């Protein structure tokens, strides 16, 4: 075991199992479905992490189901599949679970009436997934340039047939959209308020973090004084959906991620196995920090260890 991980104390090592040839066999034997967080596990920004492609091929050859989970709602599954291809990995749309897809699936699973409309504070990905699922979306990028006029006798009108407002990351957020979404939630009887996720910030560029969907979602909570239904991580909606799809108990799924408070906690809450890779944001020093109380079941440097160790 190389690098940072070797610095763990015996006590820390005993609380989570570091991948060795033996524990890797144990992990692979106990898991039918691998759930992967993308950024920090599969890629970093626009660069593929070493050995990922071969690892995914080997896992597939072993009959494992693979699911790629991302809270970023700006892209649809189709757009994500394109990103995978551009990095040289072949992933089918069916294997991708983005929070944009999750939002559309939430409506489908809950039999949202097709004649109702959905207002979107968010980007193209959500609108695409809504359309694919047969729903009518309004708003999104198109409303990014609209303005309001705060003058006497001006009435801001909204569509009374909107039965759900979906809020995700929106770099074109404005007062028009905030008012539109607020009016739908406050005035349309039974209107749902769905959040793709509540991440505070995200690495939208390689050099820094930017406001995440948690920013836009909080803004709508602030005006409506209502709490949203969250469909991305760490909500367990994904698990309920996968249970139906694969008919595999969560105890035979493994969540692989680079964040303790989202990925690992999410996996633990759902009753999955968990594997932390330190190729992303979490460092070993974060893991052993006294303030951290989230320990993964398994720990390794990078995803490719899962296959490399089998041949050691």
Mark the binding-site residues for substrate, compressed into ranges: 233
- Calculate the dihedral angle through the C-alpha atoms of 68, 70, 76, 77, rounding to the nearest 10 degrees: 0
HEC letters along 187-252: HCCCCEEEECCCCCEECCCCCCCEECHHHHHHHHHHHHCCCCEECCCCCCHHHHHHHHHHCCCHHH
Give the active site residue among 37, 143, 263, 305.
37
Closest separation in Å from C-beta 261 to a copy of itself: 11
For residue 221, state whether it binds a copy of itself (rule: CB under 8 A): yes
State which of positions 199-218 bind a copy of itself (CB under 8 A).
Answer: 200-201, 204-208, 210-212, 214-218
Which residue shows structure tokens 């294997």?
A: 95
The binding site comprises: 37, 39, 233, 258
Query: Among residues 208 and 244, whose Cβ is nearest to a copy of itself?
Result: 208
For residue 21, state whether it binds a copy of itself (rule: CB under 8 A): no
Q: In a 10 Å sphere around its CB, with 0-12 CB exposed, 13-18 middle and 19+ buried, how is residue 169 labelled?
A: buried
Query: Among residues 137 and 211, whose Cβ is nearest to a copy of itself?
Result: 211
Closest separation in Å from C-beta 9 to a copy of itself: 30
Spatial contact of 295 and 282, defined as CB atoms under 8 Å apart: no
CA separation for the pair 307, 312 (Å, rounded)? 9
For residue 121, state whether it binds a copy of itself (rule: CB under 8 A): no
Q: Of how many residues is the chain composed?
A: 312
- Decide if 39 is catalytic: yes
The binding site for Mg(2+) comprises: 37, 39, 258
Query: Among residues 169 and 242, whose Cβ is nearest to a copy of itself?
Result: 169
Give the active site residue among 2, 29, 39, 46.
39
Spatial contact of 32 and 64, defined as CB atoms under 8 Å apart: yes
If phi > 0 it is left, if psi is from -120 to 50 it is alpha, else beta; for residue 153 that is left
Task: Tell me the CB-side half-sphere exposure of residue 12, using CA atoms within 13 A.
Answer: 18
For residue 267, state whether it binds a copy of itself (rule: CB under 8 A): no
For residue 109, state whether it binds a copy of itself (rule: CB under 8 A): no
CB atoms within 10 A of CB 16: 17
Among 98, 188, 196, 224, binds a copy of itself (CB under 8 A): 224
Closest separation in Å from C-beta 252 to a copy of itself: 34
For residue 168, state whether it binds a copy of itself (rule: CB under 8 A): no
Spatial contact of 272 and 243, defined as CB atoms under 8 Å apart: no
CA separation for the pair 269, 304 (Å, rounded)? 25
For residue 222, state whether it binds a copy of itself (rule: CB under 8 A): yes
For residue 259, state whether it binds a copy of itself (rule: CB under 8 A): no
How many residues touch a copy of itself under the rule CB under 8 A: the total is 43
Active centre residues (catalytic): 37, 39
Which parts of this chain interact with a copy of itself (CB under 8 A)? 45-46, 148, 150-156, 170-175, 178-179, 182-183, 198, 200-201, 204-208, 210-212, 214-225
């Amino acid at each position: 075991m190389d690098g940072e991980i070797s610095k763990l104390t015996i006590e820390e090592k005993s609380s989570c199992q570091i991948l060795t040839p033996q524990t890797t066999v144990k992990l692979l034997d106990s898991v039918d479905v691998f759930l992967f967080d993308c950024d920090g596990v599969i890629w970093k920004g626009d660069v593929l992490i070493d050995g990922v492609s071969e690892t995914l091929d080997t896992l597939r050859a072993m009959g494992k189901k693979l699911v790629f989970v991302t809270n970023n709602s700006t892209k649809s599954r189709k757009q994500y599949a394109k990103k995978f291809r551009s990095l040289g990995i072949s992933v089918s749309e069916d294997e991708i679970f983005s929070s944009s897809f999750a939002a559309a699936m939430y409506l489908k699973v809950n039999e949202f009436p097709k004649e109702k409309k959905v207002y979107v504070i968010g980007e193209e990905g959500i609108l695409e997934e809504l359309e694919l699922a047969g729903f009518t979306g309004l708003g999104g990028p198109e409303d990014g340039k609209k303005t309001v006029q705060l003058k006497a006798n001006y009435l801001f009108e909204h569509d009374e047939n909107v039965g759900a407002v979906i809020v995700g990351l929106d770099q074109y957020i404005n007062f028009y959209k905030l008012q539109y979404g607020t009016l739908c939630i406050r005035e349309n009887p039974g209107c749902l308020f769905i959040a793709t996720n509540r991440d505070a910030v995200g690495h939208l560029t390689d050099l820094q973090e930017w406001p995440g969907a948690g920013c836009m979602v909080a803004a709508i909570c602030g005006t409506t004084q209502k709490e949203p239904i969250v469909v991305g991580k760490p909500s367990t909606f994904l698990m309920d959906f996968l249970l139906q799809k694969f008919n595999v108990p969560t105890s035979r799924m493994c969540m692989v991620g680079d964040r303790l408070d989202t990925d690992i906690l999410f996996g633990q809450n759902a009753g999955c196995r968990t594997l932390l890779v330190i190729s992303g944001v979490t460092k070993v020093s974060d893991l052993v920090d006294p303030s951290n109380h989230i320990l993964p079941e398994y720990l390794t440097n990078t995803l490719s260890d899962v296959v490399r160790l089998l041949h050691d």
